[in-house]
Amino acid sequence: MKGLKIVSTGSCHPQNAVSNDKLSQTVDTSDEWISTRTGIRQRYFCESEKNVDLASNAAKQALERSGISADEIGACVVATFTPDNATPSVACMVQKRLGLPNDALCFDMNAACSGFIYALNVAHGILMQGGSKYALVIGSEVISRVLDFNDRSTCVLFGDGAGAAVVTLSENSVYEFTCGANGDDAILCCPTSGGLQMDGREVFKFAVGIIPVCIDKLLDKSQLTLEDIDYVACHQANERIISHVVKKMKAPSEKFFVNLQKYGNTSAASIPLALDEMASGGMLKEGMKIICVGFGAGLTWGGIMLEW
Ligand code: COA
C-alpha cells in the first residue's frame, strides 16, 4: 500500500493572546493552578476571526509552501467540532477563498480532538481512489465560542487555532493507521448549543491509557520499535498527560513534542499546529518516521505513522 506524505504545513492563530494571568482577571483561577496542572501558559481566543479565517490562512500558508497550485488540490477535508455554520461547511468556504477547483471534494468532519488523524486517513483513502494527486487536510477550531466561562476547571484548558497540511501519496514510505470509538457523552460532551462539559479526571485516565495503546498498535503493525521513531506528536491537551505516557512507555521525553504551553488544547488543530512548528523549526528531515496520536470526545482515538 502507498503511504501518505506531508508535502508542507501551515498554521494560524487568532491575534488575541490570553495569558493565564489575563484569564484570571475574569475567571476565578491563577497562573499557578493552570500551569502546574496542565503546562498551559497562554492560549489564543478569537475576537472577530471566524473558523474559516483561521482555516483559510493555515491552508494558504501550507499551499504556498508546497509549491503546487490551488488547481492541483483534489480534496479539502476540515476536521472541526466548532464550524461557523452547520452548512456551508468550513471546507466549502476554504474552497472559495483559496480558489480550489470546483470538482474538489470539500467537506467537514468531526472526530473532536482525534479529528486531524481521522482526516489524514480519509484523505489517504480519497487519494488512493485516484483522480487527484494532492489533498488539503485542515484542523481548525474556535473553541472559545462553546466554552462555559463559569466552569473554571474546563474553560482554562482550551484555545483557538488552525493547522493545515498538503498531502500526497508516496510509493515506498511507511504508513500505518489505527483508530477507535467508544460512545460516551458523560465524561466529555459539547451540546450543539455550547457549554463544553468535561470530567477532567476521567478524561485524564482515558488519555494516559489510550495513547500507549495507539502507539503500540502502530509499532506492531509496522514491525518497528519506538527507537525507530524520530518523534511522537500527541494531541496537545495537557503536559501531564504526555509525561505520564513518556514514563509509562519508558521513552525519552525529547521524542514527545510539546507546544501546548502556547496554545492550550486546540482540539483538531493541535496536531497540525505541532507538526507545523516542528517543520518550521527544522526538526523534521526527509525520511524521519513520526507518530501522531489524537484522543478526545466521542470518545474517539486515532494514531498514524508517517515518513516525513
Ligand atoms: N483554577 C483554580 N482552581 C481550580 C480550577 C481553576 N481553573 N479548576 C478547578 N479548581 C479547583 C477545584 O475547585 C478543586 O478545588 P477543591 O479541592 O477545593 O474542591 C481543585 O482545584 C482540584 O480540582 P480537580 O478538578 O480535582 O483537579 P485535578 O487535579 O483533577 O485537575 C484537570 C483538573 C482538568 C487539570 C485534570 O483533571 C486534567 O488535566 N484532565 C484532563 C483534561 C483534558 O486534557 N481534557 C481534554 C482531552 S481532549
Ligand 1: residue whose CA is nearest its atom 36: 200
pLDDT bracket for residue 231 (50, 70, 90) = very high
Closest CA to 303 of 236, 219, 247, 239: 219
Instruction: Give 15 Cα–ligand 1 centroid separation in angstroms.
Output: 27
Residues 6+ apart with CB under 8 A from 223: none
pTM exceeding the 0.85 threshold for the entire prediction: yes
% the chain with pLDDT above 70: 100
Query: Is the minimum distance from the CB of 36 to ligand 1 under 6 angstroms?
Result: no
Query: Is the minimum distance from the CB of 33 to ligand 1 under 6 angstroms?
Result: yes
Instruction: Give 38 Cα–ligand 1 centroid separation in angstroms.
Output: 9
**1-50 pLDDT per residue, tens:** 799 999 999 999 999 999 999 999 999 999 999 999 999 999 999 999 99
* pLDDT (0 to 100) of residue 1: 79
Pocket-testing residue among 153, 157, 258, 270, ligand 1, by greatest number of atoms within 8 A of Cβ: 153
Identify the helix (H) or strand (E) that includes residue 39. Answer: none
In this predicted structure, the answer to whether residue 297 has a pLDDT above a threshold of 90 is yes
Q: Are 185 and 195 in contact (CB under 8 A)?
A: no
- Exactly one of 46, 113, 155, 234 is catalytic; name it: 113
Give me the residue label for grid cell 452548512.
87
- Give the Å distances, CA to CA, from 218 to 29, 165, 302: 39, 21, 10
Active-site residue, 13 included? no
* pLDDT (0 to 100) of residue 264: 98
Instruction: Give 303 Cα–ligand 1 centroid separation in angstroms.
Output: 27
Least confidently predicted of 171-175, 177-181, 223-227, 295-299: 171-175
Active-site residue, 121 included? no
Q: Are 31 and 24 in contact (CB under 8 A)?
A: yes
Q: Are 187 and 206 in contact (CB under 8 A)?
A: yes
* pLDDT (0 to 100) of residue 172: 87
What does DSSP say about strands 73-79 and 105-109: parallel, antiparallel, or unpaired? parallel
- 109-123 as b/e: b if 16+ CB within 10 A: bbbbbbbbbbbbbbb
Query: Which atom number of ligand 1 is nearest to the Cα of residue 267?
Result: 48
Query: Which atom number of ligand 1 is nearest to the Cα of residue 297?
Result: 48
**54-101 pLDDT per residue, tens:** 999 999 999 999 999 999 999 999 999 999 999 999 999 999 999 999
Ligand 1: residue whose CA is nearest its atom 28: 201
Ligand 1: residue whose CA is nearest its atom 34: 200
Query: Is the minimum distance from the CB of 9 to ligand 1 under 6 angstroms?
Result: no
What average pLDDT score do residues 220-237 get? Answer: 98
Query: Is the minimum distance from the CB of 111 to ligand 1 under 6 angstroms?
Result: no
Average model confidence (pLDDT) for the chain? 97
In this predicted structure, the answer to whether residue 173 has a pLDDT above a threshold of 90 is yes
Length of the chain, please?
Answer: 308
CA within 13 Å, CB half, 227: 0
CA distance 152 to 146: 14
Active-site residue, 235 included? yes
pLDDT bracket for residue 160 (50, 70, 90) = very high
What is the identity of the amino acid at 42?
Q
Ligand 1: residue whose CA is nearest its atom 3: 29
What average pLDDT score do residues 100-107 get? Answer: 98
Query: Is the minimum distance from the CB of 6 to ligand 1 under 6 angstroms?
Result: no
Ligand 1: residue whose CA is nearest its atom 9: 153
